[in-house]
Amino acid sequence: MRSTPTILATAAAALAALALAACGSSESGSSTATGSASVLSTAGYQSPATESLSGKRGGTLVVLQESDFEHLDPGITYAALDYPVVFATQRPLYSNKPNSTEPTPDMAASAPEVSADNKTVTVHLKEGIHFSPPVNREVTSEDVAYAIERGLNPNVANPYIKTYFNSLEGIEQGNGGPIKGIETPNKHEIVFHLDESKGSFVAEALVLPLTAAVPKEYAEKFDKNKPSNYASYEVATGPYMLKNNAEGKVLGIGYVPGKSATLVRNPNWNPATDFRPAYLNEIAIKLGGSEPVIDRQVLEGTNIVQNEPVPQSGVRLAAEHYKDQMDISPGGGNRYIAVDNKVGPFANIDLRKALWAATDRDALDRARGGELVGTVATHFIYPTIAGFEQAGGAKGLKVDYNEHPEGDMAVAEKYIKLAGYPSGKYTGSKPIQVVGASSPPEKEDSEIVNQTLKNMGFNTKLTLVEISTMYAKYCGVPKEEIDVCPNVGWIADFADPQTVLNVTFNGKSIEPTGNVNYGQTDDPKINAAMTAGETVVGRQARATAWAKIDDELVEQAAAIPFDWEKTPRLEGKDVHGVAMIWNEGAWDYSFTSLK
């Protein structure tokens, strides 16, 4: 996912990633032991790592949310903002506990079985899980199959199915009907047959909401509409459901666009089949308003939370007066300066290294809000994602241009000279295009980078535009030949490091529009390593393989990372909020309770 919380990359090649860090069980232990605690938690504040998961039953939670939802249909949803509602009502095959990036069987009964040739993935389903009213019946493997197959229905058009499931047999012919590679030998077993050895990776992708069961006989009439309006009638398998009427209608009742959404308990939910405690009786979401005002209302109120990025004013207010009401969660994604690797001065590796050396990453992070909201980045895989430690942890690869986060003009000059400018300053005459976002703190970051480029001798043309325009019209369009995009970032879809690096730095991922390989990195050696990395089996092995690729990217200075985001969230004084470490620290409604 691009690192703006409500924006989703919906291009087929784009990955909207949720930060699911699939650290191996031994890794999470080792990361704290090796002193990377500061990247996983912030002193003085609650974080998913430190919160208790127990709570009191009962009560109604009010959620104030400025932006409306993008999609609540489990087959389409792809935004960090939508996930709290989706994951409280829908159960994919595998899920994450709020404080873990390691998948837990959800609809599945046990861990996925990957065949020896890495081409078959078998999942056994739990028994006794039922759909909410009005469907009521038990969930079967065919419902899971239908959920995935409808992703190819043009009326549903799931944004990531081709990215993660493109190795499924028969997926090219899929258009909403049965897919050859999905087999349901019995009611509680589903088998995925792949034509490439990517089983281990596909198994990890089963945490995506696309795998949440959808009842075919009920949903197909909605899926016939252009676009599908299943979301307006959707049923739930989770502890909560969107309020509906007897016919199953959610629109206007459980979800009033622009106004509200209401989650009530799912009467057919069986707690024995679920790891979720579901303390709250009801979650009442109010849409609209402005974030600074919302922040104040939440901090001063009771049984109320907000669930979106907190602007600086809110962070300051909480830090100064309401310290125990702010949670700070790591794993909010990375941010980096993308530079055009194909065309222009930055096609030269030495100039890229020079920019890396010259950039004052401390200043960039300071402008974003300081230590509470980020740590200085030294490579691309960020904390909570497997491979973080193997790629160098907090310090990163030891190269001279990475040594000084406060910027080092001497090293920069060395590389500028190596690039062929003996004076130590760039002397080319053609101005370079820098396009950034106009809203703070991206604006400040753009200006800092602009000044750095000027200090290096570049003649720059800085333009600031609205952020989605920046992605859609400029930085995501290779033909625009923007030399520097200082405000890009990425959040993983789930905690496998491939989801952080593949689509963003693989030469094969470059698209004419909606491109997320912003710098058009296309190094044959790295491309080959990534292709090989897709088929590696086992979490540990994959972490090691992709960490090596991360190192390669640093050695190539493909882009300049500067921030690993931490996300604050605010809660009322009587709310025991539990944050999802794997989803930008958003509140997990199934674990949150009132004190």
Give the footprint of another protein on this chain (CB under 8 A).
Answer: 7, 10-11, 289-290, 292-293, 296, 311-313, 315-316, 319, 360, 362-363, 366-372, 433, 435, 438-441, 443-444, 446-448, 450-451, 461-466, 468-469, 472-474, 476-477, 480, 511-514
Q: Cβ distance 534 to 199 under 8 Å?
A: no
Nearer to another protein, 372 or 501 (CB): 372
Q: Which residues have CB under 8 Å from 271's CB, separation 6+?
A: 239, 277, 278
* Tokens (6 digits) for 424: 């130590």
* Tokens (6 digits) for 115: 């065949």
Nearest to 332 by CA among 26, 35, 40: 40
Residue indicated by tokens 């047959």 = 193
Q: How far apart are CA 529 and CA 521, in angstroms?
A: 14
Q: State the minimum distance, in angstroms, from the CB of residue 490 to another protein.
A: 17
Q: State the minimum distance, in angstroms, from the CB of residue 513 to another protein.
A: 4
Nearer to another protein, 338 or 448 (CB): 448
Q: State the minimum distance, in angstroms, from the CB of residue 8 to another protein.
A: 9
Nearest to 90 by CA among 129, 118, 127, 52: 129
Nearer to another protein, 258 or 422 (CB): 258
Q: State the minimum distance, in angstroms, from the CB of residue 593 to another protein.
A: 29
| Cα angle 97-102-104, degrees, rounded to a multiple of 5 | 55
Q: What is the DSSP letter of 420?
A: T
Nearer to another protein, 98 or 478 (CB): 478
Nearer to another protein, 422 or 512 (CB): 512
Q: How far apart are CA 1 and CA 15, in angstroms?
A: 5
| Cα angle 324-326-331, degrees, rounded to a multiple of 5 | 130
**CA torsion angle for 161, 67, 514, 20 (degrees, to 10)?**
-50
Nearer to another protein, 239 or 314 (CB): 314
Q: State the minimum distance, in angstroms, from the CB of residue 459 to another protein.
A: 13
Nearer to another protein, 2 or 97 (CB): 2
Question: Residue 387, Cα to own-chain centre: how many angstroms?
Answer: 16
**CA torsion angle for 512, 516, 522, 528 (degrees, to 10)?**
-120
Q: State the minimum distance, in angstroms, from the CB of residue 41 to another protein.
A: 17
Q: State the minimum distance, in angstroms, from the CB of residue 330 to another protein.
A: 18
Nearer to another protein, 106 or 295 (CB): 295
Q: State the minimum distance, in angstroms, from the CB of residue 293 to another protein.
A: 5
Q: How far apart are CA 367 and CA 515, in angstroms?
A: 27
